[in-house]
Structure 1
Amino acid sequence: MKFLLSISRLIDRLNTLVGKSVIWLTLLVVLVSATNAVIRKVFSESSNAWLELQWYLFGAIFLLAAGYTYLVNEHVRVDVLSQKLSRRTQIKIEIFGIIFFLFPFCVLIFWLSLPFFYQSLVLHEQSSNTGGLIRWPVKLLIPAGFFLLILAGLSQLIKCVGYLLGQCPDPLARKEGKTAEEELADEIIKQSSAGDVLSDSTEHHSSVTQDKGR
């Protein structure tokens, strides 16, 4: 079990490295999108290559960060029923889901995407759009992303078994503090409150101005 847990830690380090690197692609997507929009509006010019680059980067963020998202337990869970069960039962359900749902689906997509990528690479496939980019790099993202997700599932499976044997911490435990969804909800409430205050201030200022005018 110790050997398997060491493999799990290596997988987690790999997915963490990839995930934290992919985060910077979000900034790059914003810069590319903004630059493309400015050039299109100001100079009335556009490029299919820039548009496709945005799609490629978005695909890279979604696919390559999937394993990291699973690692940090930030993926969507439908646990309305399971959350009422004991932790050990939840772990057993997690193991069942990994073996009978996650692995079969991810392995199938990974296997089917390999010839899809290889054919594109051999043929030097180009975009059908004028001035578009080559296709094989974006098709490579599919097997790469699902391979990382398979590794993340393997790591989670090892940790779940280790937890049941009392040899590792709870793999389903979320990090301390607010979740991403809670932070987003707080930010929306904060922005809404700020908007209400600004609206009240504007109305008050308008009312005072009108009174002075009278």
Structure 2
Amino acid sequence: MEILLRLSGVIDAVNRLFGKFVIWLILAATIISAANAIARKAFNIGSNAFLEIQWYLFGAVFLLGAGYTFLQNAHVRIDVLASRLSMRTRMYIDIVGILVFLLPMCWFMIDFAWPVVMAAYVSGEVSSNAGGLIRWPVYALVPAGFLLLGLQAISELIKRLAFLQGKGPNPLLQGAHDGQDDIHGEEAQK
């Protein structure tokens, strides 16, 4: 279990890095959006490339940030129902959800998207808009994002199994919702 927990730590570090990176993409998209609006309104200058790069950046934020969101326990949950279950039951539900739904979906999305990325790369596909951008980089965000999410799912699976074996802290009490990185104790073990 110790080796798996180290692997989990490496995956967490990678997704933390991407999480910090996508914050800057939001700033870049905001600056580009503001500059584009000012150029259009003040100077009557427009660019489809500026419009497209905005949605490329927003796509990157959502796809590359999904693994980080899972790491921080900031994803959507039905807390009204989950709060009525024991912590062990919640862990088992998460394990089944990761194994039966999340990991297969990640695999499917990577398998489905990769040929599209390669076809766009080989053909040199470009946006049909005048002055538009090449498409393969934005297409590549789909398999990259689902790869990061799938890796984080493996990390979360390891952490839940470690918790159930009494070899790790409660992963549900870590992350963005409580502002603490590591919680131990009897309350966390319920």
Task: Assess same fold via TM > 0.5.
Answer: yes
SS in 2 for 1:99: helix
Correspondence 1:153 to 2:157: no
Larger of the two Rg values belongs to structure: 1
State the match for 2:119 in structure 1.
Answer: 119
State the match for 2:133 in structure 1.
Answer: 133
Post-superposition CA distance 1:122-142 (Å, at most 9, x none): 001111101000001000100
Aligned equivalents of 1:49, 1:82: Cα separation in 2: 45
State the match for 2:88 in structure 1.
Answer: 88
State the match for 2:27 in structure 1.
Answer: 27
SS in 1 for 2:172: coil
Q: Shift of residue 174 of structure 1?
A: 3.8
RMSD: 1.3
State the match for 1:56 in structure 2.
Answer: 56
Which TM-score applies when normalising by structure 1? 0.81
Post-superposition CA distance 1:87-116 (Å, at most 9, x none): 111111110110111111111011100001
Q: CA, structure 1 residues 89+50, in 2 after alignment: closer, same or farther (shift >3 Å)?
A: same
* AA at the equivalent of 1:23: I
Q: CA, structure 1 residues 144+161, in 2 after alignment: closer, same or farther (shift >3 Å)?
A: same
Q: CA, structure 1 residues 165+115, in 2 after alignment: closer, same or farther (shift >3 Å)?
A: same
Q: Is the Cα–Cα contact under 8 Å of residues 95 and 157 in structure 2 kept in the other structure?
A: yes
Post-superposition CA distance 1:111-167 (Å, at most 9, x none): 100001000000011111010000010001000000000000000000000000001
Q: CA, structure 1 residues 116+68, in 2 after alignment: closer, same or farther (shift >3 Å)?
A: same
State the match for 2:182 in structure 1.
Answer: none
Corresponding pairs, count: 179
5+ residue gaps in structure 2? 180-190
SS in 2 for 1:84: coil
Q: CA, structure 1 residues 176+73, in 2 after alignment: closer, same or farther (shift >3 Å)?
A: closer
Post-superposition CA distance 1:23-57 (Å, at most 9, x none): 11111111000000000001112100000000100
Q: Shift of residue 176 of structure 1?
A: 7.6
* AA at the equivalent of 1:155: S
Alignment identity in percent? 51
5+ residue gaps in structure 1? 180-214
State the match for 2:72 in structure 1.
Answer: 72
Q: CA, structure 1 residues 74+176, in 2 after alignment: closer, same or farther (shift >3 Å)?
A: closer
Q: CA, structure 1 residues 138+157, in 2 after alignment: closer, same or farther (shift >3 Å)?
A: same
SS in 2 for 1:80: helix
Q: Shift of residue 80 of structure 1?
A: 2.1
